Structure 1
Amino acid sequence: MNRTEALGIVKESIASVIPDADFTTLGPDDKFREALEMDSLDFLSFVETLSERTGVRIDDEDTPRLTTLADSADFLVDRTE
């Protein structure tokens, strides 16, 4: 998986949890939980969706790497190489 594909999957996974997420105002290094007002259940749903879509196991200790679009995409690329 390349970074562009990973970024698309991250955005799709967020959109499945927050359907009205506006990615035009969200920069790659913005913390999306705060920007999109995701609560802990929304974030958990995002992590589960991301794992299901990619087949990548995401443990609790991995979640600090999933704070921005860029970090989340990099995490996926690292895990699928």
Structure 2
Amino acid sequence: MDEQTLKRRILEILMEIAPEVEPAEIRPERTLRSQVDLDSMDWLNFRVALHQQLQVEIPEADYQKLVTLDDLIRYLQAKIGPG
């Protein structure tokens, strides 16, 4: 999956959890959770949705690696492959 497609899918999944999110306002290098004001349950639901919809296993040990949108893209792209 190419980077732009993956980014779009991540943002679509995020908007399912937090419909008020404005994707154009997301800064890819900043902490994603604080930008969209997700509580811990929403953040967990987001990670579960990523796993389910992208068919990517995300071990709990890797959660601390998934801080920014850029982090998510890199991590998921490495798991999914270039497509």
Do both proteins adopt the same fold according to a TM-score greater than 0.5, normalized to the shorter chain?
yes
Answering whether residue 4 of structure 2 is matched by residue 7 of structure 1, we say: no
Aligned ranges for residues 1-80 of structure 1 at < 5 Å?
Answer: 1-80=1-80
Percent identity over paired residues: 23
User: Could you tell me the TM-score, scaled by structure 1's length?
Assistant: 0.91
Aligned length in residues: 81
What is the Cα-based RMSD across aligned positions, in Å?
Answer: 1.0
Deviation sequence 1:38-63 (CA, Å, 0-9, x none) = 11100000001001111000111111
Q: Could you tell me how far apart the structure 2 residues matched to 1:4 and 1:39 are?
A: 27
One-letter identity of the residue aligned with 2:58 = I
Deviation at 1:5, TM superposition (A): 1.5
Q: Could you tell me how far apart the structure 2 residues matched to 1:44 and 1:21 are?
A: 17
Runs of 4+ in structure 1 over 6 Å off: none
